[in-house]
Amino acid sequence: MKTPLVPSLMLLALAAALCLLPDGAFRTWRLRLHGSLARLSRPDDGIAGPEAVARPVEEELIERLRQKDEEIAVLNRRLRELGQTREAFPALSIVPARIIALGPNSTLDSFTIDAGTSQGVKPGDAVVVGQALAGVVAQSEPGASLALSLSSPGCYLSARIGPRESSGIAARELGAAQGSGLGEIRAVVFSSGSDATTGWLATTSGLEDGIPEGILIGTVAGEFYEGRENGAVEAQLTPFVNLNGLDYVTVIGRQ
């Protein structure tokens, strides 16, 4: 069988052209041809192409941006809370702090903050988030302090309890707020004939040394019932602060 003349001449011309190319150009052409044939013959061979390499890099950048957005959101929230504290207590010193450790049990009844006597923090100072009470400083050292959470049974505060629309804190009934453990708080009113009911507001009374009046404690979450103290009634309180999600707090200094 004879070989066709035209294809034979084309192959000879191609071979001659390749021979005349510089060595570098020939190698480049050969590598490109080899790569093209490899992609055609093995399209799904698992070798990472430019798109496959770019995708992980893009996903990593997106994740970093998401983390930065979360950090910015936390900082903005913290600035708002500090502004609320300063607005509510303009004449008092405020010490920003961060929780660096939780208590020895899972009930979050105590926590440690990274501010102490070096920053002017003293036992008995109020620990707040914005305008709401989170706990009270129990012990203080130069660089750190231990605070009792509102839910701690050791946290017992005098309080004023009354309707939200009460004109002034003195118009509210004198009572107390105490932690019951397991994240719960109870409100106590020292009068069995009280009209206290669901939805009433509990705020600090200002009778404790170092804790100013008017700090929000919580809202009465249920009907009052006969209390543990004689002649008193009590009910559950829903705190204004999420005690299970504390991170940044503020200590209000003494007057």
Per the structure, the count of domains in the chain is: 2
Same domain for 108 and 227, yes or no, is: yes
Same domain for 151 and 248, yes or no, is: yes
In a domain, 148, yes or no: yes
Residue 92's closest CA among 176, 214, 203? Answer: 214
In a domain, 176, yes or no: yes
In a domain, 164, yes or no: yes
Judge whether residue 250 has pLDDT over 80.
yes
In a domain, 198, yes or no: yes
Same domain for 26 and 141, yes or no, is: no
In a domain, 24, yes or no: yes
In a domain, 64, yes or no: no
Same domain for 151 and 226, yes or no, is: yes
Same domain for 34 and 139, yes or no, is: no
Q: Which long-range contacts (CB under 8 A, 24 or more apart) does 80-86 make?
A: 80/130, 81/129, 81/130, 81/248, 81/250, 82/250, 84/130, 84/131, 85/128, 85/130, 85/131, 85/250, 85/252
Burial of residue 15 (number of CB atoms within 10 Å: 0-12, 13-18, 19+): exposed
* Rama region for 200: left / alpha / beta (φ>0; ψ in -120 to 50; rest): beta
- Structure confidence by residue, pLDDT tens digits, 137-187: 999 999 999 999 998 988 999 999 988 776 666 667 888 998 887 778 888
Same domain for 98 and 37, yes or no, is: no
- Structure confidence by residue, pLDDT tens digits, 22-38: 555 545 555 554 554 44
CATH of the domain at 232: 2.40.10.340
Same domain for 115 and 175, yes or no, is: yes
> What is the per-residue pLDDT for 80?
79
> What is the per-residue pLDDT for 72?
80
Judge whether residue 13 has pLDDT over 50.
yes
pTM over 0.75: no
Same domain for 238 and 132, yes or no, is: yes
In a domain, 166, yes or no: yes
Same domain for 101 and 225, yes or no, is: yes
Burial of residue 136 (number of CB atoms within 10 Å: 0-12, 13-18, 19+): buried
Could you identify the residue written with the tokens 């399209």? 43
Residue 187's closest CA among 170, 174, 168? Answer: 174
In a domain, 85, yes or no: no
Domain containing 130 equals 92-252
- Distance (Å, whole) CA 197 – CA 222: 7
Same domain for 33 and 104, yes or no, is: no
- Distance (Å, whole) CA 64 – CA 68: 6
- Count of residues making up the chain: 255
- Structure confidence by residue, pLDDT tens digits, 52-73: 666 777 788 888 888 877 778 7
> What is the per-residue pLDDT for 37?
45
Same domain for 36 and 117, yes or no, is: no
Helix, strand, coil shares of the chain, percent, nearest 5, are: 35, 30, 40
- Structure confidence by residue, pLDDT tens digits, 196-216: 888 889 999 988 887 888 899
Strand, helix or coil for residue 32: helix
Amino acid at 217: I
